[in-house]
Amino acid sequence: MQDPLITLTLAVAGLTGLAIVAATALRGWNGWLDLKRAELARGTDEAAPPSTATRIEVADLKERIRKLEAIAAGVDL
């Protein structure tokens, strides 16, 4: 049969570990909530879709980069 002191020690250690994990998770959750509050306070400008002109300009730049990479690699277009 096991010694009751060993059982008590394991139970206390397990409870302490569980308390540490719970405190860490709670702190992380509060940090995440603070981040979301800051995002809401900053506004939703970042969530707005880009304008059509911006999309066209980005597509043009990507095409130019692709052509320059092809030239650098020595590939004929």
- pLDDT 10s digits, 30-76: 999 999 999 888 875 555 677 888 899 999 999 999 998 888 888 76
3 state SS of 74: coil
Q: Which pLDDT does position 39 carry in this prediction?
A: 86
Distance CA 32, CA 24 (A): 12
pTM above 0.95, yes or no: no
Q: What is the average pLDDT across 19-29?
A: 96
Q: Which pLDDT does position 74 carry in this prediction?
A: 84
Q: Which pLDDT does position 44 carry in this prediction?
A: 58
The more confidently predicted of residues 1 and 73 is 73
Quote the tokens at residue 40.
């809401």
